[in-house]
Amino acid sequence: MTGPLGKDLLGLADLSAEQIRLILDTAVPFKEISERQIKKVPTLRGMTIVNLFFENSTRTRVSFEFAEKRLSADTVNVAASTSSVSKGETLVDTARNLEAMRIDMVVIRHPASGAPRFLAERIDSNVINAGDGTHEHPTQGLLDLLTLRDHLGDLAGRRICIVGDVLHSRVARSNIYGLQKLGAEVAVCGPRSLLPNAVHELGVQVFDRIEAAIEWAEALNVLRLQLERMQAGYIPSLREYNRVFGVTSARLERASRDLLILHPGPMNRGVEIDSDVADGPHSVILHQVTNGVAVRMAVLYLLAGGRPDLADAAKGGRA
Amino acid sequence: MARDLLLKGGRIVDPSQGLDTVGDVLLRDGRIEACGGTLGTPDGAEVIACDGLIVAPGLIDVHVHLREPGREDVETIASGAHAAVAGGITAVCAMPNTRPVTDNQATVGFVKRQGEAAGYARVYPYGAISVGQKGETLAEMGEMVAAGAVAFSDDGRPVESAQLMRTALEYARTFGVPVAEHCEDMTLAHGGSMNEGAVSARLGLKGIPAEAEEIYVIRDILLAKRTGGHIHLCHLSTKGSVELVRWGKERGINVTAEVCSHHISLTDERVGHYDTNAKMNPPLRTAEDIEALQQGVADGTIDLLVTDHAPHHYDEKEREFADAPNGIVGLETALGVNCTWMLHRGVITLSQLVDAMSCKQARIFGLPGGTLRAGGIGDVTVFDPEAAWTVDPTRFKSKGRNTPYGGTALRGLARYTIVGGRVVYTAG
């Protein structure tokens, strides 16, 4: 069955503004389910979902699993290190074998950009991209959008800056595409060695100084600095990174307005973000995590063919 | 004794003689007996009516990978040579990145004999520049030349040591053969799988900047200047490379260059949603690069149009983009692509097309052929530059199906491919 999003969710680049708004609007009623004592509705009862993770992930996998279980789907987690993938099986064979067991959806995380699309073009099940290489992480993008919308309202014309390793960040790409589709102004800030050479082609403003970015923006989405970037020589040291690009309370206090602070996690405290900012009054980082479950429930529901107007009814278990 | 073959009434295009005229070509005993004018039909001769067709010296492609020895599951010398003639190509130079590497006279001899046994296109072996293509010590070039090697290359990878490249240019000069370089700074291209630009930024794929190629282009031109050796630059893909080659040629440096059909026709947008049939090294670049490369062919800066024919097994391409191997097949589409993107768009004339696909290939690599002059070898391509057709990879003679042109409408098709006076391919 094909719902209003099509068969798969591969990236925000593929979605229209209407589709993005639909997911966010659908997530709102789903938030309430997680606040109940009995956090479960029968909406996806009888559906089988495989969480196929070729990379380590705790947060995203657990978030998806909660979303699936709260909608009563049957879920199986497959980690690449424990599956036949490590015996040399190709991605397409892995997928076909899973599908032969009659599954309905695959949630895939993979180190290669484009792997979810490769899979989606070859199997009938719905495919959800849970992060592919340095390409996209659409559900993270969506939960960031939902969090920003919760705090700023309509995002049209709002100024959001993404800070850090944009070059290697799938979160950055999904944020840029999603925010632009909703009419926000997007900027990036980070060392030039961690920005794509063709960054201007992404339609974003570039700040070389974090101070200037803070002065401009209404919200900062602070990316995780992968420690291997330093080992690969993209930056000289974590110490210098923190000194030049770290989001610190001293820098935020100099700004003329309060900024909303987002971070996709896991954080390197004291590197890209200081603890007093991460735990401070303007941080919405845990709110992002909570929204993550709701957004993923909405995506699962819509891909399963759920009618958006029934989302309210679904949470009551009457769909 | 084989029958004489008379090619009757075609438009003879042979820039080696400055010829573009309607007339006949007679082949006898594997050689060109006569060319031009109206020729009588000798007794018992086979006659092919060539009205409305182009009769050209046999097309040559100095850059192909035939995978034998080592990967006969992917292509054999016979299947590759068959694919060549199906594309109107009468001779190919086989790159030495086989398994084992063609870096010794025994393997060179093997490649040559397999080509002769197949009886399709002529197959001229390349020898490796360095032992095992490891970039450490020079391979035995003299022995390989004696066994039939026509040029040297470590293609697939660059010669990283400037000192080794310098020595290779000097040493090969002794034997009068070119050294062909795969221009790629591996430290800069490291891990890249497509052109670095807007598309790679969007797709989240690590890019290969143009400079990874250009740094080696200028290094090698300067080494040719120092040594007087003949550097041939393989598969150039960037505007900057064209400008650097132009710079070298203006100074009389012994540099020649080639470009692949895919680099004069497709941009990195063709990668689309991670289509591994648009993955090759060097990668597809931008519209600006295509324009510069086409212009380079038109003004002679780029000497040759080649394919870099690189068959791969279906399973190897059927995977994640970054992990898929580089390369596409091209022997059966090159003529059509070159006609469609350059001839029919008025970038080059028919004479220039034949020059870049035949005459100059023979001249630069010292190969027989590349001319219809009486006495030359009887290799002729009869083609219809106007014939419209649609690429259907399932009909390829090559074992490889990895092409970005599947379903593409092309204009330009070989009708008869003649090697040594014998028709080895007739379009069906």
pLDDT of A314 > 80? The answer is: no
> What distance in Å separates the CA atoms of residue A186 and residue A61, rounded to the nearest whole number?
28
> What distance in Å separates the CA atoms of residue A92 and residue B48, rounded to the nearest whole number?
50
Across B327-358, b (16+ Cβ under 10 Å) vs e yields bbbbbbbbbbbbbbbbbeeebbebbbbbbbbb
> What distance in Å separates the CA atoms of residue A249 and residue A140, rounded to the nearest whole number?
25
| B185 labelled catalytic | no
Residue A33, phi-psi category: left (phi > 0), alpha (psi -120 to 50), beta (remainder): alpha
pLDDT of B8 > 80? The answer is: yes
Is B301 in contact with B34 (CB distance < 8 Å)? Answer: no
Contact assignment for A134 to B196 by CB distance below 8 Å = no
Instruction: Give mean pLDDT, residues A274-285.
Output: 96
pLDDT above 70 as % of chain B: 100
- Residues of A whose CB is below 8 A from B197: 197-198, 201
Cα-only R_g, chain B: 20
pLDDT above 90 as % of chain A: 81
Is A9 in contact with A295 (CB distance < 8 Å)? Answer: no
3-state SS track over B50-109: CCCCEEEECEEEEEECCCCCCCCCCCCHHHHHHHHHHCCEEEEEECCCCCCCCCCHHHHH
- Residues of B whose CB is below 8 A from A14: none
Please work out, in degrees rounded to the nearest 5, the angle formed at the alpha carbon of residue A212 by the alpha carbons of A146 and A265: 40
- What band does B406 get if pLDDT is binned at 50, 70 and 90? very high
pLDDT of B136 > 90? The answer is: yes
Report the DSSP beta bridge partners of residue B232: B180, B256
Instruction: Give mean pLDDT, residues A252-259.
Output: 92
Using DSSP's 3-state secondary structure scheme, residue B353 falls into helix
Instruction: Give mean pLDDT, residues A305-317.
Output: 68
Min mean pLDDT across A50-59, B200-209, B257-266, B386-395 is at: A50-59
Contact assignment for A197 to B322 by CB distance below 8 Å = no
Contact assignment for A197 to B209 by CB distance below 8 Å = yes
- What band does B239 get if pLDDT is binned at 50, 70 and 90? very high
Instruction: Give mean pLDDT, residues B307-311.
Output: 98
Is B14 in contact with B372 (CB distance < 8 Å)? Answer: yes
- Residues of B whose CB is below 8 A from A198: 196-198, 200-201
Q: What is the pLDDT of residue A87?
A: 62
pLDDT tens for each residue of A155-208: 999 999 999 999 999 999 999 999 999 999 999 999 999 999 999 899 999 999
> What sign does the dihedral B355-B356-B362-B364 (CA atoms) show?
positive
> What distance in Å separates the CA atoms of residue B95 and residue B43, rounded to the nearest whole number?
42
ipTM of the prediction: 0.90
Which tokens in the block code for residue B126?
A: 């390349």
In this structure, are strands B179-181 and B194-195 parallel, antiparallel, or unpaired?
A: unpaired
Distances from the Cα of B416 to the Cα of A8, B113, B231, angstroms = 49, 24, 34
Q: What is the pLDDT of residue A73?
A: 97
Q: What is the pLDDT of residue B340?
A: 98
- Residues of B whose CB is below 8 A from A112: 320-323
Nearest to A198 among B201, B274, B323 (CB): B201
pLDDT of B43 > 80? The answer is: yes
- What band does A315 get if pLDDT is binned at 50, 70 and 90? low
- What band does A52 get if pLDDT is binned at 50, 70 and 90? very high
Q: What is the pLDDT of residue A318?
A: 41
Average pLDDT, chain B: 97
* Phi, psi (rounded to 5 degrees) for B208: -110, 110
Alpha helices, DSSP H, located in B141-180: 141-147, 162-175
Instruction: Give mean pLDDT, residues B180-205.
Output: 96
> What distance in Å separates the CA atoms of residue B97 and residue A47, rounded to the nearest whole number?
50
Is A309 in contact with A22 (CB distance < 8 Å)? Answer: no
- What band does A228 get if pLDDT is binned at 50, 70 and 90? confident
Say yes or no: A117 contacts chain B, CB-CB below 8 A. Answer: yes
In chain A, which among 141-200 make CB contacts under 8 A with chain B?
Answer: 170, 173, 196-199
Instruction: Give the residue from A92, A96, A118 with the most B CB atoms within 10 Å of its CB, the best one to mutate.
Output: A118
pLDDT of A233 > 90? The answer is: no
> What distance in Å separates the CA atoms of residue A54 and residue A80, rounded to the nearest whole number?
5
Instruction: Give mean pLDDT, residues B277-302.
Output: 98
Instruction: Give mean pLDDT, residues A288-300.
Output: 97
CB proximity list for A33: less than 8 A, separation 6 or greater: A39, A40, A41, A70, A294, A297, A315
- Closest by CA to B178, choosing from B235, B140, B115, B224, is B224
pLDDT tens for each residue of A81-109: 655 565 678 888 888 888 899 999 999 99
Q: What is the pLDDT of residue A81?
A: 64
- Closest by CA to B40, choosing from B52, B53, B54, B28, is B28
Using DSSP's 3-state secondary structure scheme, residue B263 falls into helix
> What distance in Å separates the CA atoms of residue A130 and residue A238, rounded to the nearest whole number?
28
- Other CB atoms within 10 Å distance of the CB of residue B278: 22
Which tokens in the block code for residue A17?
A: 């503004």
DSSP secondary structure, chain A, as one string:
--BTTBS-B--GGGS-HHHHHHHHHHHHHHHHHTTSSS----TTTT-EEEEEESS--SHHHHHHHHHHHHTT-EEEEEEGGGSGGGGT--HHHHHHHHHHT--SEEEEEESSTTHHHHHHTT-SSEEEEEEETTTB-HHHHHHHHHHHHHHHSS-TT-EEEEES--TT-HHHHHHHHHHHHTT-EEEEES-GGGS-TTGGGGT-EEES-HHHHHHH-SEEEEPP--HHHHHTTSSS-HHHHHHHH-B-HHHHHTSSS--EEE--S---BTTTB-HHHHTSTTB-HHHHHHHHHHHHHHHHHHHTT--GGGHHHHHTT--
- What band does B353 get if pLDDT is binned at 50, 70 and 90? very high
Say yes or no: A90 contacts chain B, CB-CB below 8 A. Answer: yes
Longest dimension (CA), chain A: 59
